[in-house]
A and B are shown apart, each in its own frame.
Chain A
Amino acid sequence: MSQGILELFTQNISVLNIGIKSFGDNINKVGSKSVNLDWKPPALDKPEALNILNSLYNHSVENANQKVIEIIQNGHPVLVGLGIAGEVIPGMDEWTILHAGPPIDWDRMCGPMKGAVIGALIYERRAQTPDEAIQIAKSKIKFSPCHHHQAVGPMAGIITASMPVWIIENRNYKNKAYATLNEGLGKVLRYGAYSNDVIERLNWMKQELYPTLKETIELLGGIDLRTLIAQAIQMGDECHNRNKALTSLFYREIAHSLVKTKFSDIQKSRVLEFINSNDHFGLNLSMPACKSVMQAAEGIENSTIITTMARNGVEFGIKVSAFKDKWFTSPAPKVKGLYFPGFSDSDAALDLGDSVITETAGIGGFAMAAAPAIVGFVGGNANDALNFTRMMYHITLAENKNYQIPVLNFRGTPTGIDLRKVIETGLLPVINTGIAHKDAGIGQIGAGIVRPPLECFEKALLNYKK
């Protein structure tokens, strides 16, 4: 079976040189083409790991990955309505509190997450004081990751039964995803604040924001989030740390229906003002949109694609498609970034939140080239924003069919993070994120870039041992 070799004899030889550079030079010297691969050994050096990596190059894995990519590309998130967490989120009840990141119990939770739990219990009227709340948290509450309940939460990501949530449906696969509505910036529950005004705001959201928006969306018959996100990305958002365009597009989309709802003018105005004053309102839509897409791609046997990344302020966790229920965790890293005046990295909480589901789905930090303005927020220059996206193409298997980056000639965002490529190149996914103060109740103190620890990927790889 040597037809291919015979064909080679008729072609111009063009070489990829991996290793000793002078071999490539000699080929160029005689006028033929050779390019050098910028090769270095895989990040994992143990022979066992190399064997597993080697064994992960086969038809089953390639086919499985193809399937996962197809599912992601065909993902079609649509905002279909709003509901109350306890009524719509699977496995939710009055003693369950959902949190961001991989599983964690009360004792190990970081400051902001504890603060958010306290605030939530007060909001739910299960506790009247922080001390009562702590008692209840220790004794009566079942904690569970949002991710285990088809939900995602930014920062502390706390969801309790009476909170209103967005309901997103992945049209082509019929699965649903949920997230709370974004409270705003500064001293808010998700940053661990639990003062009176936080609780008041949460109450207002339940009493006015929720019903107004619920009826608005009913009148609209739903909103295609995929189209909205695609447009936002072409307008300078990356939909994780920069959501201004997405928020604006949402506002535009709902305005004419919102004014038709049965509520008072002043209430409608308060709702519109609330959305207008919060540049990150759209984040709580882009997150469950990405969750719904990635969720449909979970559990494909043999696939090496990362379907979840999330942090709880203590640990960073990832999941791969092949092992639907297994988290691979490692201590959460510190975020490298810019701090608001008066704060420094000694004040920072460790990396926290489910919002990295955006990077997992191919936007957020992966779409940074579409959002050069972000560098004002996370540091660096506009060229860096382009380069971050470019580097991510090395660890992903596809270019996103739906989300395209104008400045890269409308190239689709790097999508479908392949565990094998992360290990081989040592390139870790780049994440844009906010930085919380490590103490509960203070709020956001900066923003920056963070990478998942390599250890998560190492653990995931070793799990493929046949």
Chain B
Amino acid sequence: MNQKVLIKKNLYYDSVSLMQLSEKIKSLPQVSEAVIVMGTDSNKNLLREILFFQVEIEQATSNDLVIAIKADNEAALESAIQLIEKNLMHKDTSEKSMNEVALLTQNSAYRANPEINLVLISTPGQYAALEAKKALIANKHVMIFSDNVSIEDEIELKQMADSKGLLLMGPDCGTAMINGVPLGFVNSLPKGPIGVIAASGTGSQEVSSLIAKLGSGITQLIGTGGRDLSEKVGGTMMMMALEALNNDNETKVIVLISKPPSEVVAQKLISACSKIKKPVVICFLGSAQDKIKQENLYFVQYLEEAAIKAVELISGRKITIQIDDFEELVESETSKMDKRQKYIRGLYTGGTLCDEALILLNKEFGNIFSNIALDVKYKLKNSFTSTADTLVDLGDDEFTRGRAHPMIDPQLRYHRLINEADDEEVGIVLMDFVLGYGSNSDPAGSILEAIKIAKEKFARRNQYLSIICTICGTETDPQGFSQQKNKLEQAGVICMPSNLQAVKLAAAIKRRLPQ
């Protein structure tokens, strides 16, 4: 076993680029380990865990690039190193190759490109607030993709943005689309008369792609960040966005999406909506708000319902996306299972989609385990091991340390699916496939092998695994909705038209299984 460690001082790369490079190198024949990371404390811990103990690593700082490779022999090591150097070369910022167009500071970027009007920040969290502040000072709109920004910073930044009439989407805002331009993880969406404001990434992806499927389109998709509707922040950005969309002539219907906020903030929001001249569809996920009756407000419980309501308000026609042969499908799937099978396993990449599934299934069955369960009784002891009915949000922090998000990197779910298939009590697997910009280039294709293996395991036990999925995407997404659907259907996966429909199907099947 040969190993090599290289430290490149003062050479910075973002974590996604480095992970892509690591994957590339790891896939070389005879390379058994390739870790290419910045020398942060947590990365150094990771390296120690996989037995790289060199003193150079210990001395590296978070501004230094650490390259650690293990290979079968010297030659493989050398070619790995060469490939790495080749990939890093274009970014050499040694003194000899400095030039004026190097955009090292925001000010130099604005000097060179004065037409910049929006700044998208996805640095590690502890640096994001400073960059956002500088952008606001320069009168630019801001989107903060990064999370781990303090709430005090968020409040300060949003107050500043408010006073200047600027957007501050985030922190922890993964999805937005302004004037049709994709920001972060977002689908390719047609232009239309519906404006979406969301405190949730995959929530807004589901709603917006369903709106597209139903033949309508989006004016603006504004993300507020997950914490905007907390009491301390008070919904500052959501209210600014509401006011803007109210005054935007292109927007005819507004959709608000969020986890249920506190009473105080909900009230604030609802009374702000009373000043809105257009219909507003509000989805506080899982919450049935039937007490409030306000003329232009429409409360819905689930994401699909928000999309349907919005398009109905535009078209004036009643819409449904239920499939015709629902009952037949339930019957056919259940009939192939044996009496040992009773549980649902949900392997989700989209947090809000997992939330929605959890809410619906808990309402019907209760006792659903999850790594994101609010009730401590149903929080998984070990998130890597399912028990009974379990829904896992694979995008949660504990899964994404040192690894790309599952919407980008399918590996974790691939292996998890194969593991779940060893459990003879499982009957149904639920999965989401989130397409769009930012996501993996072939989410369906990258898991086909695991689906095949899983189904075979059940077949060998004379059982049948029902795999149900939802595909959150549009035809014009880079991955192509139909292509993804075809691949999955050919592998025996049942593709339902929305997350809600997929979960309803799973629930209907489970109802027929022994309790």
A residues at B contact (CB < 8 Å): 1-6, 8-9, 11-24, 26-27, 29-30, 32-43, 45, 47, 50, 53-54, 57, 62, 380, 384, 387-388, 390-391, 393-394, 421, 424-427
Contact = CB atoms under 8 A, between A and B. Distances in A.
Contacts of A43: 63
Contacts of A17: 120, 122
Contact of A6 (B12, B108, B188, B244): B244
13 contacts: A8-B167, A9-B178, A11-B117, A16-B106, A16-B118, A16-B135, A19-B122, A20-B16, A26-B438, A29-B437, A42-B130, A50-B130, A54-B130
Given A8-B117, A23-B183, A426-B10, A16 B140 contact: yes
B243 interface: yes
Contacts of A39: 12, 123, 131
B510 interface: no
B113 A16 contact: yes
Given A36-B103, A57-B137, A424-B105, A23 B124 contact: no
A387 B94 CA distance: 11
Contacts of B106: 16, 18, 37
B116 A23 contact: no
A199 to B, nearest CB: 42
Given A8-B141, A427-B104, A19 B121 contact: yes
B153 interface: yes
A394 B130 contact: no
Contacts of A4: 141, 164-167
Interface string B127-148: 1011101110100110001100
A284 B183 CA distance: 56
B425 interface: no
B247 interface: yes
A2 B10 CA distance: 41
Contacts of A20: 14-17, 122, 145
A426 B63 contact: yes
A393 B108 contact: yes
A391 B108 CA distance: 10
A1 B103 contact: no
Interface string B38-81: 00000000000000000000000111000000000000000000
B395 interface: no
B27 interface: no
Given A27-B183, A54-B130, A54-B133, A14 B118 contact: yes
A37 B103 contact: yes
A18 B109 CA distance: 11
A21 B117 contact: no
Given A1-B165, A50-B127, A40 B12 contact: yes
Contact of A8 (B178, B247, B250): B178
Contacts of B182: 26-27, 30
Given A4-B166, A23-B438, 4 more contacts: A4-B167, A38-B103, A54-B133, A391-B98
A6 B248 contact: yes
B89 to A, nearest CB: 15
Contacts of A9: 178-179, 219-220, 244, 248, 250
B14 A19 contact: yes
B119 interface: yes
Nearest to A10: B179
Given A5-B141, A23-B438, A54-B130, A384 B95 contact: yes
B195 to A, nearest CB: 10
Contacts of A387: 95, 98-100
B162 A41 contact: no
B244 A5 contact: yes
A40 B63 contact: yes
Given A1-B165, A22-B438, A421-B105, A13 B95 contact: no
Contacts of B110: 16
B127 A41 contact: yes
The 8 closest A-B CB pairs, nearest first, are: A19-B122, A4-B165, A40-B12, A5-B244, A2-B244, A26-B437, A20-B122, A13-B181
B184 interface: yes
B273 to A, nearest CB: 15
B8 to A, nearest CB: 12
B353 to A, nearest CB: 21
Given A14-B115, A54-B129, A394-B104, A23 B12 contact: no
A18 B122 contact: yes
A133 B274 CA distance: 88
A43 B123 CA distance: 15
Contacts of B117: 8, 11, 13-14
B102 interface: yes
Contacts of A388: 95
Contacts of A393: 100, 108
Contacts of B108: 393-394
Contacts of B140: 16
Residue among B15, B103, B220 with most chain A CB within 10 A: B103
A433 to B, nearest CB: 16
Nearest to A449: B95
Contacts of A34: 120
B119 A12 contact: no
A184 B14 CA distance: 52
Given A14-B117, A23-B183, A50-B130, A5 B165 contact: yes
Residue among A5, A47, A57 with most chain B CB within 10 A: A5
A384 B94 CA distance: 11
A1 B162 contact: yes
A21 B14 contact: yes
Nearest to B119: A16
A387 B93 CA distance: 12
B165 A18 contact: no
A237 B396 CA distance: 60
B131 to A, nearest CB: 5
A350 B179 CA distance: 58
Interface string B426-447: 0000000000011000000000
B377 to A, nearest CB: 36
A47 B126 contact: yes
B214 interface: no
B119 A18 contact: yes
Contact of B120 (A18, A29, A47): A18
Given A5-B165, A384-B96, A23 B184 contact: yes
A35 B17 CA distance: 16
B382 interface: no
A30 to B, nearest CB: 6
Contacts of B10: 40, 426
A384 B126 CA distance: 34
B113 A14 contact: yes
Contacts of A23: 120, 122, 145, 183-184, 438
A19 B137 contact: no
Residue among B109, B163, B240 with most chain A CB within 10 A: B109
A9 B222 CA distance: 11
A3 B165 contact: yes
A18 B133 CA distance: 13
Contacts of A380: 96
Contacts of B109: 16, 35, 37
Nearest to A27: B181
B167 A5 contact: yes
Contacts of A384: 95-96
B181 A30 contact: yes
B35 interface: no
B153 A41 contact: no
Nearest to A54: B130
A20 to B, nearest CB: 4
B211 interface: no
B173 interface: no
Nearest to B38: A41
